[in-house]
Chains A and B, each alone.
Chain A
Amino acid sequence: MEYLKLTNLTKIYLKKIIAVNNMDLSIHKGEFLVLLGPSGCGKTTTMRLIAGLEAATEGDILLEGKSITGLAPKDRDVSMIFQSYAVWPHMTVYQNIAYALKLKRMSKKDIDIRVKETAKMADITEYLDRNPTNLSGGQRQRVAVARAMAVKPKLFLMDEPLSNLDAKLRVAMRTDLKKAHELLGSTTIFVTHDQSEAMSLADRIVVMNMGVIEQIGTPNEIYHDCETMFVANFIGAPPTNFFDVEIAVSNDNVMVKHGMFEFAVAKEIEASLRKYAGKIVVLGVRPENFDILPVGKGLLDSKIEFIEPQGSHTVVVIDIMGKHHKIISTGTFELKVGQEIGIDINQNNFFFDKESGKRIR
């Protein structure tokens, strides 16, 4: 059974801004779910709806089978880590963590035990008596985490908790968060617009765009099995390369035709693509699914426009019919700007309906 279930969840601000549109989502107990999407796609709004800081325009939120849609935030048994941490500056770290426990009318002794226990987990024991004003960003972040953990909530909500930290700390904190999650077995919804963060933390990723869910899946599914053009474009750096291609059906073969190249599609997809005979579809190819060959040996020939070495691999920018495409070369070829090369496209590629942007399977 689902632990948290959103049905038809909709939020419209000021009668016209649709921030979350008809969202259906189920989360299992103990899952680490990441909401990923571009700025303004409604991630924060979704969190706030679940936390009760925003009233849903429509739809229902069920936690352990019970509707919490109408409840005040304090009665929902969720805790939240805010992007700005929202650590109270007029209280010590100890008081910050104890705040929720006091409101729960726990005894002084129990509070003390709980605060110390969580502080140890979050590695902030030595700051307990300090004021958050004179803590660093990373330390404040830990206070926010400890405060959220201390109440042992049914659900953790984290809204870009790492985005204010520097790159290195971010990666370290991310490991810590994941560890804490595994230790507590808590159910977590984590918002980010950093894909590598999403990939490394998530059990499942929810890709959102303009208030709707584009795809839900494991990091691997999201990357290798995109449902929509948006996901293919949004996930992966550099993003998927798109080509408008015509489907040509000749006797037994289903061919993909582009101004510069044509090839027969893989057997599994033939049947679906037949329906598009004579129509234009969008071919999506991940940068690493190109092969660089000597001139004339590949599907098409092209010229190298730029080279961006990344250490483990090299991003090569090539020109195909006036459009720049980024491909990844892991080979040890000696590549030069301006060099003519042959390009091959392997069969790991996606086809999308040009109108709807949906994957053709």
Chain B
Amino acid sequence: MNTKKLITRTLFLLFLVTMLIAILVPFFAFLATSLYSSSEVYQYPRTMMPRFTYDMKITWEDDMYQLSVYEDDIEDYELKIYTNSPEKLRIYLKKQYSVQLTDEEIVADFSKSKDGTAVYMQYKKDLLYNFKTFFTITSNADKAIMNSIIAAGWTILISLSIGSMAGYTIARYRIKWKKQINLSLLIVRMFPMVAVSIPMLVYLIRMGLNGTMFGLAIVYSVGNIALTAWITNSIFQGISVELEEASLVFGANKIQTFFKITLPLAFPGLVACSMYAFLAAWNDSIVALILSNSNPTLSLLIYKAIGMSGDIQLAAAGAVILVTPSLIFTFIIKNYINQLWGDVKF
């Protein structure tokens, strides 16, 4: 009896830890990568923690600066580059180590070595270097962020209003083929968005919505309306009809009842639904590529930037930029998500 309990507990803990690792390790890995400098990315073995400072040694030989960097694995300074041009050094330090210095600073620091003694310096790495680079190589990132927010907003609005109405109808009214309709909602989800977006492009061009965020949101909503209807259906079913009927008896009409009783009770669920809609719009880059290439969303911008530069740390920085608003959004609505499966009915 007791051993059985112990085994279940252990298994449960193991499961929990595995889940945590599976979620946290990749997250931590790309967060760390986004903070790496170029040299760290190609270093082997990789360090888990990004470095914050570099210890450097500069000597003056053969009329050239000899730059060595302390490497932990060999526990000694390793010669990296020799040149007499401060500008080259500056660029090298920036590109390889994310250390941002001006030419003057370099000359000031390095010229002390000219009398034959080695100069030891500790330089701070610019941790946000990758993020800055990301915004400089992608010219219109702020516009793209706005676009993403607008597209996500419209998607939430469209799929929630239409989807929850459908969900309410399916939950409350006796309609024929209820089960089949419910199932077909999921089938809509099965179509890949890419397949939907190509014919949609034709319609959007006809309507003049091609390249607009509203047009994009319409396409995102196609699949999301179905999902929202599916989820809200069970939410509304979970709200006892008697709660609504009580409102009717106590002097409210149907519309008042919906807004004062049904909607507040369904609210946590609807908020959670809005997260699905948000994520669908926020994370998509393929549909945006087809429908709105010239006016990209953040996700599309990152997708393209990664394709162009090929630097893994830039890709990671882009991913962090993309995921941060999602995390903020989730954080804002976290109370509702936890409530979602709590007791609406009793």
Contacts and interface: CB of A to CB of B under 8 A. Distances in A.
A89 B245 CA distance: 14
Interface stretch (B50-58, B115-123, B249-257, B327-335): B249-257
Nearest to A137: B346
B81 interface: no
B243 A74 contact: no
A17 B147 CA distance: 57
Interface in A69-103: 72-74, 78-80, 82-84, 86-90, 99-100, 103
A103 B251 contact: yes
A51 interface: yes
Contacts of B252: 74, 99, 103
Contacts of B253: 72, 74
Nearest to B242: A86
A26 interface: no
Contact of B250 (A52, A79, A90): A79
Contact of A86 (B243, B264, B343): B243
Nearest to A102: B251
A88 B256 contact: no
A90 B265 contact: yes
Contact of A151 (B242, B250, B343): B250
Give the size category of B's interface with A.
Answer: 20 to 34
Among B246, B251, B253, B261, chain A packs the most CB atoms within 10 A around the CB of: B246
B85 interface: no
Contacts of A88: 243, 246-247, 261, 265
A114 interface: no
B248 A53 contact: yes
A359 interface: no
A133 interface: yes
Given A74-B252, A86-B240, A89-B343, A99 B247 contact: yes
A147 interface: yes
A100 B250 contact: yes
Contacts of A79: 249-250
A104 interface: yes
Interface in A49-66: 51-53
A103 B256 contact: yes
B312 interface: no
B180 to A, nearest CB: 20
B59 to A, nearest CB: 74
A36 to B, nearest CB: 22
B344 interface: yes
A288 B23 CA distance: 74
A82 B256 contact: no
A192 B300 CA distance: 64
Contacts of B265: 88-90
A87 B247 CA distance: 10
A261 B39 CA distance: 111
Contact of B246 (A52, A80, A90): A80
Contact of B251 (A53, A84, A151): A151
Interface in A215-232: none
Contact of B249 (A51, A87, A104): A51
Interface in B215-274: 240, 242-243, 245-253, 256, 260-261, 264-265
Interface of A: 51-53, 72-74, 78-80, 82-84, 86-90, 99-100, 103-104, 133, 147, 151
